[in-house]
Amino acid sequence: MGKDDPAMLVRAQSGFPATGEVLDPFARPFLIAGWMRGSHRGPLMPVSEKDANPSRFDGPPRIIALAFSIKNGKLTGPVDCFADVSFDEARRKVNELADYMRRHGPFQPHLLPPGEMEYTTLPQVIKKLQDRFEEI
């Protein structure tokens, strides 16, 4: 939909990296901004197309990979690359990381710093209450 929902086309095979080489980085979770309307960090989860609709605080952030081939000048496919069971361990780790981060509550490390937040009024609220803060 928006800038937090990017799409990318990657060419593989025939002089380019193999499909497995393109997908392998997603076998390990890493943290990205973009969870919960772009105001939180979360581990990126490789999922099948059918599992691409998150409901837990709009996350964890998800990525799908659909592979197409060209045969006789026609596009064939898609193959749902992340439906592969070899990504099950990455998904398990993402859920573990997401649980850990959510247990911290509604602040960092899960919540982005105020200057990086989007789609929320929290930066304006913090600015309004700034004179009430005390150094600890």
**Whole-number average pLDDT of the chain:** 86
pLDDT, residue 1, reads 44
pLDDT, residue 117, reads 67
Give the pLDDT confidence of 39-71 residue by residue, as tens digits.
778 899 999 999 998 887 778 889 999 999 988
pLDDT, residue 119, reads 59
State mean pLDDT over 24-44. 86
Higher pLDDT, 112 or 76: 76
pLDDT, residue 86, reads 96
Whether the CB-CB separation of 49 and 64 falls below 8 Å is answered with yes
pLDDT of residue 78 exceeding 60, the answer is yes
Least confident of 2-6, 95-99, 112-116: 2-6
pTM score, whole prediction: 0.76
State mean pLDDT over 66-86. 94
